[in-house]
Amino acid sequence: MVVVVFLTATVAMGQFRPFELPRRSQPQPPVQPAPSSPAPTAPTPAPEPAPTLTAPLHNRGPFLNPFDEVIVEYTGEQVAGWLSNTIDDVPCRVSPAITFPAGLELNHYEITVSFTGTGEIKVSVGHAGNNDFGNILTKKHLHRPFQPARSDGPCRFSSPYHLETTAWILLSAIGDVQISGVQFHCVRGQGTNYGHTAMAFNFAGVDLPYRLLAPRQIVEGKRYPLVLWVSGSGGVGSDNSKQLEVFSSARYLYISYFNNDKFACYSLAPQMRPQTDIPAPYWPQGDLGKPTPEHPDWPLPNAEGWYTQATLALIETLINDPAYQIDPDRVYYTGFSYGGKACWEFLKAAPDRFAGALCVAGWAIGSVLSKPTDALKETLRQEATAYRHVPIRIFAGEKDAMRHGSQVAYEVLKQLGADCEYTEFPGADHLGITGRVWTNTKTMEWLFEQKKDSTTD
């Protein structure tokens, strides 16, 4: 059977606490999976290997540590008993279903094959929200591309889907090879959303819901960057979930970069609350952050508004807590759409906090779909003077009506001598560019190379 270890301790510090909205029921202790009557193509279980338990990834900071790891090992004899199948035209053997309780999040897998001989071995992993192997055969997105087995380490796979509970090892052996063992290793999150733990931070008497992802491994004495994600309007709410929308950089930091030490970081995703939740003296209960003729619509993240000020206070609290080991000179901004507008508001509110920014499909001044006038450009120039020292990369789609605001921001910043570049994707609309930005390793490398000069503070 697969044994699951949960870490459920929390540490209360200051204004932090676990998020208190209703959560899904906690996972029950796992049981040995009993195979249902399989379809003709489905593999039947071989004798279950004994699991090897591992320690939690880390136990740092005042937040619920949601991760643990488990290793399941198969002998060569057990592998020989796996049923055969063909996936993506590759003949292979398929392990018994490795099943975990509902409520866990499985995204990262490592498979190591011990073998001798001169043939070729390829491995993959199938993954699904249930133990129906038929889905793996018919749906290509539920198994990863095959990789050649490595002699110097495991093959790593990441699933882009949330709350999957079952995995299968897919193994193809061609030629003269003798397999002596296979090791399956996975990282599992409890109650996480793309690796991010739900928390809340009280500001002006109202909770700011947020999600936080920590580096996979935390080295004593090392400092780590913090990447802020601000969502589009679809993320507005109070459920502490919608802000991790499909367009979010936070998702990609977990799915695509979590295993890469080069991108080890804290990922912070605070949720914009509806305007009816905002307390005085902030708009609409007061004047702070209210709409202006220059910024007439979509005011929730305005520079003086509750959301922006609460988020900045949270960032400073995290930085000042030594448990996190956050590098104050490597705080980065990322945002899409409404979060793209918020980029310029955060830079206005705290021009010396951010070391770099990625602004995707946003606008800096005027109405959301308008072309800024010369008068608005002059206002933006005056505003941008305060943050022109922050390196910024701006992205928009050719068919996105919001691109006019992005183009004007680039024009003004270049006139001010800023380190700023603008990329417009041909043929792309408003929603079609985020994945192309967040999966671009060179773009993310550029962001993580930025470091604020503390002497200028």
Instruction: Judge contact between 126 and 168, C-beta under 8 A.
Output: yes
Whether 175 and 253 share a structural domain: no
Ranges 18-32, 76-90, 284-298: which has the least confidence: 18-32
Task: Report the C-alpha gap between 72 and 2 in whole angstroms.
Answer: 8
Helix (H, G, I), strand (E, B) or coil at 353: coil
Phi-psi region of 136 (alpha: psi -120 to 50; beta: other; left: phi over 0): alpha
pLDDT exceeds cutoff 50 at 422: yes
- CATH number for the domain that contains residue 179: 2.60.120
Residue 6 lies in a domain: no
Domain containing 330 equals 197-456
Same domain, 149 and 260: no
Could you tell me if 180 and 73 lie in one domain? Answer: yes
Query: Could you tell me the end-to-end alpha-carbon distance of the chain, in angstroms, rounded to an integer?
Result: 56
Is residue 74 included in any domain, yes or no?
Answer: yes
> Are residue 275 and residue 414 in the same domain, yes or no?
yes
Write down which residue in 131, 165, 190 finishes a domain: 190
The answer to whether residues 180 and 236 belong to one domain is no
Q: Judge if 120 and 83 occupy the same domain.
A: yes
**How far apart are the C-alpha atoms of 108 and 156, rounded to whole Å?**
7
Please indicate, yes or no, whether residues 35 and 113 belong to a single structural domain of this protein.
yes
Q: Token digits for 35?
A: 């195979």
- Both 146 and 218 in a single domain? no
Specify if 162 maps to a domain: yes
Q: What is the C-alpha to C-alpha distance for residues 443 and 450, in angstroms, rounded to an integer? A: 11
Look at residue 437 and tell me if it is in a domain. yes
Provide the pLDDT for residue 354.
98
Residues 152-166: pLDDT tens digits? 889 999 999 988 889
Residue 206 domain-assigned (yes or no): yes
Q: Per-residue confidence at 63, pLDDT binned at 50, 70, 90? A: low
Residue 11 maps to a domain: no
297: in domain: yes
Closest alpha carbon to 197 in 14, 312, 60: 60
Average pLDDT taken over every residue of the chain: 86
pLDDT the model gives residue 319: 96
Together in a domain, 243 and 107:
no
State which amino acid sits at residue 207: D
Band the pLDDT of 36: cuts 50, 70, 90: very low
Q: Is the pLDDT of residue 41 over 70?
A: no
Which are the contacts of 274, defined by CB distance < 8 A and separation ≥ 6?
Answer: 236, 237, 238
304-325: pLDDT as tens digits: 999 999 999 999 999 999 989 9
What CATH number is associated with residue 319?
3.40.50.1820
Q: Within the chain, what is the greatest distance between any pair of CA atoms?
A: 76
Q: Are 150 and 95 in contact (CB under 8 A)?
A: no
> pTM of the predicted model, to two decimals?
0.85
* Average pLDDT, integer, range 399-415: 94
- Do 280 and 141 sit in the same domain of this protein? no
What is the per-residue pLDDT across 332-377, written as a single tens digit (0 to 9) for each?
999 999 999 999 999 999 999 999 999 999 999 998 888 999 999 9
Closest C-alpha to 95, from 105, 110, 80 = 80
pLDDT at 270: 98
Segment 409-422 mean pLDDT? 97
Is the model more confident about 289 or about 190?
289
Give the chain's domain count. 2
Same domain? 141 vs 239: no
Of 190, 210, 245, the residue that ends a domain is: 190
Asked if 286 and 325 sit in the same domain, the reply is yes
Question: Which one of 139, 171, 190 terminates a domain?
Answer: 190
Most confident range, picked from 94-103, 154-163, 378-387? 378-387
CA distance 319 to 330: 10
Using the predicted structure, report yes or no on whether residue 295 has a pLDDT greater than 50. Answer: yes
pLDDT above 70 covers what percent of the chain?
Answer: 85
For residue 225, being part of any structural domain is answered with yes
Q: Which of 58-67, 148-157, 282-291, 315-324 has the lowest mean pLDDT?
A: 58-67
